[in-house]
Every structure is written in structure tokens, then in C-alpha cells.
Amino acid sequence: WNKGQISPFWFLWNDLPRKAEQRYVDRLIDMFKTRPNMFIARGGNNRVGAAADFLVAQKCDSLYIFSDFEDFVDEEVCTELGQKLGRAKVKTYVQPAAARTEHLAVMSRRVAGRSMGRELPALTDLLRPQKEEAAPIAVAVKQELPVPEGVRFATPRKERPVDPKLGYNHNRWWDDNYRERFKQELKVVEYPNFDIVVNGPEARALIYLKTKEGFVQSPIVFGYYSHKPLFEESSGKTYYPRRKWLRNAEEPKFDGNEFTWKMILEDEITFDVIFWFKEDMLTGTYTAQIPPNGESDGAFIFFSVPPVGLERGDTYFAPDFPGGLDLDQLRQVMAHNHATFYLPVQAEERLGVSWSRLGFKKGENVCPYNILYRTLPDGVREVTIGGRSFGERRLQARTTSNNLLLSTGTYRADIELWEGFQCRLVRPRDERRRERVVKTEAISFSIE
């Protein structure tokens, strides 16, 4: 690879445990940034097939699969990749972790044989030369970061919509289809700490935080999602476009403290979204009919926390800093904001290993807005968002019971929270549960 050959490293971002010292991770990232024959993949439903197709299309001559920092080589991944690439005459090389164990050594030999490769030197020799001595572990001293000039936290405004040059109104003026989907303002519910704007004809709501002086930041979006698998014979690939809304079974309406959308989607599938309004609290859930012929639909409801900054030409703008900041200054400002993810002990047995690899643990995890996260954890019972950018307001979103927990979504493999993120409630694909209203499978919002 260092002689001009096309032999890429494939680095699965989720496979690197957080226990690796940060300087080694930084060096690995720098290596990927400077070498064009490497690429970073993120875990997904078809990561192996997509990676194999990509490598074949790039006419690679070999692939080096590594495991490091006491991690392990995934036998199924290696075997499947080796078989797929072997048919295209691409050689696959595997190697175990530098810190060998008997189990790892035996497994790696078996995987190497089955995936038509051979063992290579550990990648730690590249990242951590033998002559380099490990740096002592230092105790971090928390220091107050300076606030750049021109920043005013939680800048209030009188009107709900934010200046489109500074924030996100989520109306997508360039997307006629998107504007048609949510063109109706059906209801506005006003509370002391926030306003809720209910849209139609499809289900959506915007949550505007407000202080005594006015509205702050861009609105939080509550919405729904459902897809329809589409197989393309020419490419042999399956795509998952959004399942189209056809009509409403009846007009969205208020009934007491309850608001309901009764939607009919492609294939005449019903999808209902239900809100319950209480004082200073909003609770939402959904019901979704199972598609015919065993099709998937990936149905869920979600809320999206908007980005706190808007980028234009390497400069970042927001209502709090309309004059713009560079990235370093933006990170100084975002250090004053945080999100807390509460991971319940009931989910530790199922998700504990995944949490640990991402640097999370059971209980409360306080995450500053200016730190890079590989991805966010699943199995979340409660999310709390606050900080100086939100004034005295604090958003709390939680599931109504431990029966169903939140999944998270980010827009790429590594992200900082100020760029925005999403939390999703996915009900089990069981028609006895998903096609009826269950109040213990819902998301509850409150603004303190």
C-alpha cells in the first residue's frame, strides 16, 4: 500500500473500543485523512455487501482487515468479504490483535484460511512504534473556556421562525414536495416554556423553546418515518425510499387533550400518530399497520435536535453569533452546552458491550456539545439537553416506560452534538402490539 498499490485499509468505526488511548485514535484518523487508498465505513444493515461492491468497483487488488487495541476480528465479516472478493480475484488479508490470546490466534488462523488470506504484522506497529514510550496518564484539569467576542448566549427573538441565514425552520424552501407535505398549520399550543406548532396534512410538530424575553434557537422537530423497499433489477440492489403518503383517512383533529393524524400510506397501509397534551408536557406515540407480503417498513417516530450552527464557507453562523465564528471558536462556545443520555441497567446485558466500545456506561452520561462522538448509544431511556445556548430552558425527552427504549441517529459516523442528532422510538413488528395504541410505548417531552 505504501508503494502506490491500490490495497485499502477498511476501518469499521464502531469496531474500535473507546479504551484505546486517544493519541492512537488521532494518529489512525490522520492516517486515513492523508492516504487516498483507505476508507472508513460505518456499521449498517448491509455494510459487508456495500463494502465489497465498493472495493470491486474501485478495482482494488487486495484488502487488509485488521483488528487492534485488544479487539477481535469478526469471523463472519471476514468470511463473507473473503468469499465475495475472492470471486472477483481480490485477495483478503487478516491479522489478529497485537495482544494475542490463544483464542484469538486460533480463530485468526481459521479465518485467514477461510477468507483466502494470510496474517500480516499488527497495525499497532504502524500506530505505536516500539521506540515510543507510552505517555503517562494525566488528570484533566477543567478550565473555563473563553467566550469569543460577539457571542450572546440564548439570544431571544419575538417571532417563532428563526432567520434562515442563522438557523433552521425546517420548511425546505427549495423542496416543493416537502413543503406540500407539511403546508398546513393545524394547531398552535402555547406553554410558558415552549410553543408547539402542529402541521399537516402529514404528521409533524415543531417545538419552539422560549424564555421570558422570547424564542431561542431553532425548533425541535417531531415526525414519523416509513419506507417501502424498491428492488432495482438493473443493478440488483434494493433501495428504501420513503413510503408515500396518499391521503388522510379523516382530517387531523383535536379531541379533548388528544390530537391524532390518521394517515394512509402506499399500499393502503394505515399509520396513525397520536399526541397527548398536558400542562408543560407533550407525549407522542404511533400505530402502524404491518405491510403486505412480509415487506419491511422501518416504521418509527422521532424527534430531531437541530444544529446550533449553520456553515457557510467555513464560517459558522447562529442567532447567538450572527457575525460568524470559525470552527475553533465555535467549539469554545459549544463547550457550554451538553446532552445527558440515561442508559438503564435493564438494557446493560443486551447493549453493555456496545455502550462500552462507544465510551458510554449504564446510568447518566453527560456529553459536551464540542466533543467528537463516533456514534451515539441505543437503548436510551432519557435524553436531557441544556446549556448556556438554551438560556434557563432544559429539554427532557424520555420513554414512558422501560418496555421500549430510544434509538439514536446521527448524520455520519463521527459527529459533534452541536451538529444535531435524532432519537427514534421503534415499536416491535408485532401486529398485536404495533397496530394498537399502547401508552407505555411513547415519548414524553417536557421543558424545564
Cβ–Cβ under 8 Å, residues 43 and 16? no
Q: How confident is the model at residue 138 (pLDDT cuts 50, 70, 90)?
A: low
State the residue for C-alpha cell 422521532.
Answer: 302
Domain boundary among 64, 95, 127: 127
Q: How confident is the model at residue 204 (pLDDT cuts 50, 70, 90)?
A: very high
Q: What is the pLDDT of residue 327?
A: 87
Q: What is the pLDDT of residue 379?
A: 93
Instruction: Establish if 289 belongs to a structural domain.
Output: yes
Nearest-5° Cα angle at 204, 200 to 210: 115
- pLDDT at residue 18 above 50? no
The tens digit of pLDDT for each residue in 284-301 reads 999 999 998 888 999 999
Give the mean pLDDT of the chain. Answer: 78
Kindly state whether residues 73 and 182 are assigned to the same domain. Answer: no
> What span, in angstroms and rounded, lies between the C-alpha atoms of 442 and 448?
20
- 48: CB partners within 8 A, 6+ apart: 77, 80, 81, 84
Residue 347, domain CATH: 2.70.98
Kindly state whether residues 119 and 183 are assigned to the same domain. Answer: no
Domain count, the chain: 2
The tens digit of pLDDT for each residue in 34-46 reads 554 445 554 444 5
Instruction: Establish if 49 belongs to a structural domain.
Output: yes
Instruction: Establish if 417 belongs to a structural domain.
Output: yes
Average pLDDT over residues 253-265: 90
Burial class (CB in 10 A: 0-12, 13-18, 19+), 126: middle
Higher pLDDT, 244 or 180: 244
Kindly state whether residues 210 and 122 are assigned to the same domain. Answer: no
Kindly state whether residues 93 and 223 are assigned to the same domain. Answer: no
Q: What is the pLDDT of residue 17?
A: 45
Kindly state whether residues 58 and 186 are assigned to the same domain. Answer: no
Kindly state whether residues 294 and 430 are assigned to the same domain. Answer: yes
Q: What is the pLDDT of residue 13?
A: 46
- pLDDT at residue 252 above 60? yes
Nearest to 203 by CA among 305, 297, 274: 274
Q: How confident is the model at residue 108 (pLDDT cuts 50, 70, 90)?
A: low
Instruction: Establish if 158 belongs to a structural domain.
Output: no
Kindly state whether residues 59 and 195 are assigned to the same domain. Answer: no
pTM confidence score: 0.70
Kindly state whether residues 181 and 115 are assigned to the same domain. Answer: no
The tens digit of pLDDT for each residue in 294-325 reads 889 999 999 999 899 888 888 999 999 999 99
- pLDDT at residue 341 above 90? yes
Q: What is the pLDDT of residue 179?
A: 73
Kindly state whether residues 54 and 192 are assigned to the same domain. Answer: no
- 408: CB partners within 8 A, 6+ apart: 341, 375, 376, 377, 378, 380, 421, 422, 423, 424
> What span, in angstroms and rounded, lies between the C-alpha atoms of 319 and 306?
13
Q: How confident is the model at residue 99 (pLDDT cuts 50, 70, 90)?
A: very low
- pLDDT at residue 249 above 50? yes
Kindly state whether residues 122 and 180 are assigned to the same domain. Answer: no
The tens digit of pLDDT for each residue in 343-393 reads 999 999 889 888 887 888 899 999 999 888 878 999 999 999 999 999 888
Instruction: Establish if 415 belongs to a structural domain.
Output: yes
Instruction: Establish if 145 belongs to a structural domain.
Output: no
Kindly state whether residues 223 and 299 are assigned to the same domain. Answer: yes
Kindly state whether residues 233 and 309 are assigned to the same domain. Answer: yes
Nearest to 96 by CA among 77, 69, 116: 69
Q: What is the pLDDT of residue 28?
A: 61
Rg, C-alpha atoms of the chain: 24
Instruction: Establish if 238 belongs to a structural domain.
Output: yes
Average pLDDT over residues 265-289: 90
Q: What is the residue range of 221's domain?
A: 176-447
Domain boundary among 67, 102, 127: 127
Instruction: Establish if 74 belongs to a structural domain.
Output: yes
